[in-house]
Chains A and B, each alone.
Chain A
Amino acid sequence: MGHGPAVKLGKDNAAGYKAKIGITMFFVYTLTYFIFVLINITKPTLMQIQVLGLNMAVVYGIGLIVFAFVLALVYNHFCTQAENRLNK
């Protein structure tokens, strides 16, 4: 049994571009996530600040989930565009 994909994949000219944009977005999200963790570790009282009538902990937590989805949509949009442009 050999390695490589189970289905035949064509050459992907957009692979380099997609990797670059993926790494950039990964760092953006990682930073946002670890600031959340660091606040909890170093200044947990900050999480009690009221934002929109709720405390920062809830707003930041829900925000992280929504932000993940938005970033994923943006990433997919740019990747699809690049594939359409470069893999004609």
Chain B
Amino acid sequence: MIYAQSPLAIGLFISFVLLVLGLSFYLGRRTTSSDGYYAAGGNVHWFTNGIAFAGDYLSAASFLGICGMIAVSGYDGWMYSVGYLAGWMVALFLVAEPMKRLGKYTFTDALDSKFNSKSIQLMAAVSTLVVSVFYLIPQMVGAGTLVTPLLGLPHYAGVIIVGIVVTIIVATAGMASTTMVQFLKGGMLLIFSTVLVVGVLVRGFSATPENDGKAYHEFITLQATVAADGQLVLGDPSYTVPANWRDSAFAEAGMVKLVKDGIDTIWYLQADGQGGYLLEETLFQVQLADGTRLYNGAPASEGRFFPVGHMKEINMGGETVLQTGAVGPLAYLRTLQDSTIVLWGTKHVRTAEGYYSIYYQKPTPGTQILRPGLRFTVDNATAGEKFNFFSLMLALFCGTAALPHILIRYYTVPSQAAARKSTLVAIAAIGFFYILTLFMGLGAMTSGVINIMDNNMSAPLLALSFGVILFAIISSIAFATVLGTVSGLIVASSGAVAHDLLDNFFGLKMRDKTKVLAGKISAVVVGIIAIYLGIVFEGMNVSFLVGWAFAIAASANLPAILMLLFWKRTTAQGVAASIGVGIVSALGLILLSPDMYVRYGLLPSDAPISFNSPAAISIPLSFLALVVVSLMTKRVEVSEEAVEGASA
């Protein structure tokens, strides 16, 4: 733990949660019909809905994940922002108005509007559930990440708290309260992110950044020579060097372990070019055989594990300076581009004592930070690496217009024009926010605030560097971000179960009140599943996890939506086959990916496929399935009246 709890932050946070719950109960008293529960009565104003869209979309992935990824990987993290925003053009130009015209409560309604097909009802409902659950995982991981520094609780406690609060919200009021929560949260996120970026620009760069008034830890470098007997001789005699330093597992990783005052320290070895070494201080965490965790050789409570992120050399307008003072947005980017920034590499070492994660300094020119290549391999990339990158960018582009919790928001406005205008507002708000993420991420990278073991907290910790009040506000908004997005996803999931499966597919023909009750029970069940998965996936970058959700959504839903709208030969069987093939292929490729092998505790190199993003294979497969099956079957269209009659 590198930060202490603040009573003010806790007070603000609890007040915010109580406000959200109060609003939910208030709106819940007015929600008794299906229209109210699933579509907020269809009378939300387009501007409100547009900001609520932004609230829905700017989830934990955007606020916590992207900022964190930019903070440690520079421009590559921001590529997610570019891809996420591009996806809205598919939604605006191709999907917004037809979805409004065809659907009622869920996106299954739109797909099934011309067929009244049991297979579409089943497959689309399953798809909604799978995509929603995958999208829920990163939100829950983000929740756990936030609650740890705020309340001092373990990750799982955060996940459980969010799960319970959100389930209460959804089970009380559905889409009406979700829309209001998203509107408030989306607006506050935009306002306070702007405040944070203005703060970053006014502060400018400093070689010794202060963090909430505390001086930045000065990482030291030791000089060492090698004696005739092979022993390492240090200039500072207060450190003890083990005699077998060359034969240890640390040496294989280019490190050496020294002891000072009875406490272990680990140093990154670099040849000094004259036969000796420079030893650079590292950060490390070790899990001992008995399960104890030590941070830089001591328990977390001793605070030896420091926040990081600093400039090695600041070059402004051709001159080297120690600090810049206030700068404009373009000057900020130019200065960073011309300077050298210390990023952090990671090495893992297993010894008889335990498992070490060691973080060492990697001075990196700004020119490399502001271009792709630190996370994704683009220079001299293999065909597989190029494919992986292309596949991710394809998933981000195609995923937005296929996300169930985004699609259902088109049913909360009164007209097609309102659907279009709310999408326009969403694009403006989300695009503006994504430009802010570049400055927030780079601000975190250089302000000495990064918790290198969990970069998801970079944005809130950047706020903490301006004082505990901004930290409390930003953390509360981030928590609301998670609450809002999770509640939207759970509404979509409960709609899939109660409306698409129970009512339409199984034909239970429930009364309106029973249908709402079924939706609420479904919300509780989905909430429990989300809590479990949020605990399992602890520690993964939330934006990376959302990339998977986008890939599944794009593969399962988008081909069916687009072909239904633009290809007259599309049949019900084709739509169902497309969804099925999209889910199975995307999910299958993810489960066999190198990153999932790490979660299984296996070596990523043993994974049967070498890439992590499945979209470039699963989307074409889904399209192909739709075309082939549609050509093999006959289109039977049902009139709207017949559909109404059949399912009324």
- Nearest-neighbour CB distance to chain B for A11, whole angstroms, equals 11
Q: Does B63 contact A (CB under 8 A)?
A: no
- Nearest-neighbour CB distance to chain B for A73, whole angstroms, equals 7
Distance of A85 Cα from B370 Cα, bound (Å): 47
Once the chains bind, are A73 and B330 in contact (CB under 8 Å)?
no
- Nearest-neighbour CB distance to chain A for B305, whole angstroms, equals 33
Complex interface bits, A55-76 against B, C-beta within 8 A gives 1, otherwise 0: 1011001101110110111011
Q: In the complex, which of the residues A1, A26, A71 has the most CB atoms of chain B within 10 Å of its own CB atom?
A: A1
Once the chains bind, are B414 and A7 in contact (CB under 8 Å)?
yes
Once the chains bind, are A44 and B85 in contact (CB under 8 Å)?
no
Once the chains bind, are B372 and A47 in contact (CB under 8 Å)?
yes
Instruction: Knowing A36-B82, A72-B424, say if A5 contacts B104 (CB, 8 Å).
Output: yes
B102 surroundings in chain A (CB, below 8 A): 3-5
Contact of A65 (CB < 8 Å), options: B381, B435, B503: B435
Q: In the complex, which of the residues B103, B393, B566, B647 has the most CB atoms of chain A within 10 Å of its own CB atom?
A: B393
Complex interface bits, B108-127 against A, C-beta within 8 A gives 1, otherwise 0: 01001100100000000000
A37 surroundings in chain B (CB, below 8 A): 389-390, 393
Distance of A6 Cα from B435 Cα, bound (Å): 36
Once the chains bind, are A44 and B379 in contact (CB under 8 Å)?
yes
Distance of A44 Cα from B376 Cα, bound (Å): 11
Distance of A62 Cα from B438 Cα, bound (Å): 10
Q: Does B628 contact A (CB under 8 A)?
A: no
Once the chains bind, are A62 and B379 in contact (CB under 8 Å)?
no
Distance of A53 Cα from B90 Cα, bound (Å): 32
Distance of A47 Cα from B74 Cα, bound (Å): 14
Distance of A62 Cα from B434 Cα, bound (Å): 9
Contact of B105 (CB < 8 Å), options: A6, A9, A36: A6
Complex interface bits, B68-103 against A, C-beta within 8 A gives 1, otherwise 0: 000000010011011001101110111001101111
- Nearest-neighbour CB distance to chain A for B470, whole angstroms, equals 25
Once the chains bind, are B85 and A65 in contact (CB under 8 Å)?
yes
Q: Does B416 contact A (CB under 8 A)?
A: yes
Number of residues on chain B facing chain A (CB within 8 A): 73
Once the chains bind, are A75 and B93 in contact (CB under 8 Å)?
yes
Closest to A71 in B: B89
Instruction: Knowing A1-B503, A2-B644, A53-B330, say if A65 contacts B397 (CB, 8 Å).
Output: no
B386 surroundings in chain A (CB, below 8 A): 41
Distance of A44 Cα from B377 Cα, bound (Å): 10
Distance of A26 Cα from B558 Cα, bound (Å): 15
- Nearest-neighbour CB distance to chain B for A57, whole angstroms, equals 4
Q: Does B276 contact A (CB under 8 A)?
A: no
Distance of A58 Cα from B103 Cα, bound (Å): 39
Complex interface bits, A1-39 against B, C-beta within 8 A gives 1, otherwise 0: 111111101001001001100110110011001001100
Once the chains bind, are A68 and B85 in contact (CB under 8 Å)?
yes
Distance of A5 Cα from B104 Cα, bound (Å): 4
Distance of A23 Cα from B598 Cα, bound (Å): 42
B35 surroundings in chain A (CB, below 8 A): 6
- Nearest-neighbour CB distance to chain B for A86, whole angstroms, equals 12
B370 surroundings in chain A (CB, below 8 A): 54-55, 57-58
Closest to A36 in B: B82
A15 surroundings in chain B (CB, below 8 A): 97, 101, 416
- Nearest-neighbour CB distance to chain B for A63, whole angstroms, equals 10
Closest to A65 in B: B431
B465 surroundings in chain A (CB, below 8 A): none
Complex interface bits, A40-56 against B, C-beta within 8 A gives 1, otherwise 0: 11001101100011110
Contact of B417 (CB < 8 Å), options: A7, A36, A75, A80: A80
Interface of A is mostly: helix
Once the chains bind, are A5 and B100 in contact (CB under 8 Å)?
yes
Q: Does B569 contact A (CB under 8 A)?
A: no
Contact of B411 (CB < 8 Å), options: A6, A22, A41: A6
Closest to A32 in B: B86
Once the chains bind, are B94 and A23 in contact (CB under 8 Å)?
yes
Contact of A6 (CB < 8 Å), options: B42, B376, B393: B42
Once the chains bind, are A54 and B330 in contact (CB under 8 Å)?
yes
Distance of A23 Cα from B90 Cα, bound (Å): 9
Once the chains bind, are A68 and B86 in contact (CB under 8 Å)?
yes
Distance of A18 Cα from B370 Cα, bound (Å): 38
Contact of B644 (CB < 8 Å), options: A3, A7, A33, A76: A3
B416 surroundings in chain A (CB, below 8 A): 9, 12, 15
Instruction: Knowing A2-B643, A5-B101, A61-B78, say if A55 contacts B94 (CB, 8 Å).
Output: no
Once the chains bind, are A3 and B367 in contact (CB under 8 Å)?
no
Once the chains bind, are B101 and A9 in contact (CB under 8 Å)?
yes
B109 surroundings in chain A (CB, below 8 A): 3-4
Complex interface bits, B11-42 against A, C-beta within 8 A gives 1, otherwise 0: 00000000000000000000000110001001
Once the chains bind, are B640 and A3 in contact (CB under 8 Å)?
yes
Closest to A43 in B: B378
Once the chains bind, are B643 and A3 in contact (CB under 8 Å)?
yes
12 extra interchain contacts, Cβ-Cβ under 8 A, other than A64-B86, A79-B420? A1-B648, A4-B104, A6-B411, A15-B97, A15-B101, A47-B371, A55-B370, A62-B438, A68-B86, A72-B428, A75-B424, A76-B421
In the A-B complex, list the 6 residue pairs whose CB atoms are closest, starting with the nearest.
A2-B644, A22-B93, A26-B93, A44-B378, A6-B42, A7-B42
Q: Interface on A for B, CB 8 Å cutoff?
A: 1-7, 9, 12, 15, 18-19, 22-23, 25-26, 29-30, 33, 36-37, 40-41, 44-45, 47-48, 52-55, 57-58, 61-62, 64-66, 68-69, 71-73, 75-76, 79-80, 83
25 pairs from A and B in contact (CB 8 Å cutoff): A1-B648, A2-B643, A3-B103, A4-B640, A6-B411, A9-B415, A12-B416, A15-B416, A22-B92, A25-B89, A25-B93, A26-B90, A26-B94, A37-B390, A40-B372, A41-B378, A45-B379, A58-B333, A61-B75, A61-B81, A64-B82, A65-B82, A68-B427, A72-B92, A79-B417
